[in-house]
Amino acid sequence: MIRFECDYTEGAHARIMQRLLETNEEQTPGYGMDEHCDKARDYIRKACGAEKADIHFLVGGTQTNTTIIASILRPHQGAVAAITGHIAVHETGAIEAIGHKVLTVPSDDGKIQADQVKKIYDAHWNDVNHEHMVQPGLVYISHPTENGTTYSRGELEALSKVCRACGLPLVMDGARLGYGLAASGSDLSLSDIARLCDVFYIGGTKVGALFGEAVVITNDALKKDFRYSIKQHGGMLAKGRLLGIQFETLFEDGLYYEISQHAVDMAMRIREAFTKKGYPLRYDSATNQQFPILPDSILEKLSAKYAYSFWEKTDAAHSAVRFCTSWATKRENVEMLVKDIAALP
């Protein structure tokens, strides 16, 4: 079985494994106070062009979203998110469990736009009963989204502008950020993101690391006591240096970008194969996740050899499915898939 069902099927990039081995016997203080974490912080600050940003390392995405949101909102506030957003759908109510409503806005492609934020904000404040309703308190977006789509620089600038006008921190879930930066046609850089968002994170789990998400806080007002929030939500890894070492490796000389580019290149090969064959795509994704719509009979055939994720039925006989590539995707597996797609009836 060749697995394309998600982007976390393997361990870590060989250089990370090597570095973990080399440093294994070092003695360091715990909880992210070690030199590896400090170095990784420096590399990331540089990569973001954000010298004064606070950088924190957490283990996984749900935990990171929870920690960030808990740290920002007052109890009567909610997080504005696309109806397809990860926090709205796939975190077992982790945001509600810390007391906050996810205020969803409709989205066809996983993105939300500046005017939607303005609209939900105005709707709240113009409602005579607004004190009886959850107040929008921050805006959460994913880049790339759960559907593989990405924000352009113009879109993010518009979002950021509205958010700042409304006093709503803009939070970016970057669990797959590398694949967004490497997306074909993307004009959005890490320093754009650092400039336009208030908090965001750089995903390691899906981009080369065993695990790990690097939170970047650029808004000074949101920095205070963040480590308390990490600890309270179970994200303060005892051997924090494991996170430092991994991000150090990813960011010391551009490995993060390089392996992200590989994943996107592989995804583009798969995309071409499906479209060449005439299969439509559920979303127009320029990143590592591809969502072809295929006849169920064809899908059954493919599933003998390839693992993919079911996404949704599109009609009685067709389904959208997800094929993911990653930093670890082997070129030969992709070529085999491409060939098999071409050979489909």
Site for a copy of itself in 228-287 (CB under 8 A): 228-229, 231-239, 242
Q: Are 203 and 176 in contact (CB under 8 A)?
A: yes
By CB under 8 A, the residues from 156 to 185 that bind a copy of itself are none
Our finding on whether 63 is near a copy of itself (CB under 8 A) is yes
Smallest CA-to-CA distance from 36 within 53, 16, 52 is with: 16
Our finding on whether 211 is near a copy of itself (CB under 8 A) is yes
At a CB cut-off of 8 Å and minimum separation 6, what does 131 contact? none
Q: Are 138 and 72 in contact (CB under 8 A)?
A: yes
Main-chain dihedrals φ then ψ at residue 282, nearest 5 degrees: -65, -40
Which member of 51, 52, 129, 278 binds a copy of itself (CB under 8 A)? 129
Report the residue number, 134 or 336, with the smaller CB distance to a copy of itself: 134
Q: How far is the CB of 264 from a copy of itself (least distance, A)?
A: 20
Q: Are 61 and 204 in contact (CB under 8 A)?
A: no
Our finding on whether 11 is near a copy of itself (CB under 8 A) is yes
**Total chain residues near a copy of itself (CB under 8 A):** 76
Our finding on whether 213 is near a copy of itself (CB under 8 A) is no
Which member of 36, 45, 100, 111 binds a copy of itself (CB under 8 A)? 100
Our finding on whether 222 is near a copy of itself (CB under 8 A) is no
By CB under 8 A, the residues from 300 to 339 that bind a copy of itself are 310, 328
By CB under 8 A, the residues from 134 to 153 that bind a copy of itself are 134-135
Our finding on whether 60 is near a copy of itself (CB under 8 A) is yes
Our finding on whether 210 is near a copy of itself (CB under 8 A) is yes
User: DSSP secondary-structure letter at 281?
Assistant: B
Q: How far apart are the first and last CA of the chain?
A: 21
Stretch that binds a copy of itself, among 132-140, 144-152, 155-163, 187-195 (CB under 8 A): 132-140
Smallest CA-to-CA distance from 240 within 33, 25, 27 is with: 33
Report the residue number, 26 or 272, with the smaller CB distance to a copy of itself: 26
Q: Are 178 and 207 in contact (CB under 8 A)?
A: yes
- Cα–Cα distance measured from residue 283 to residue 164, given in angstroms and rounded to the nearest whole number: 29
Can you name the residues that pair with 81 across neighbouring β-strands?
A: 104
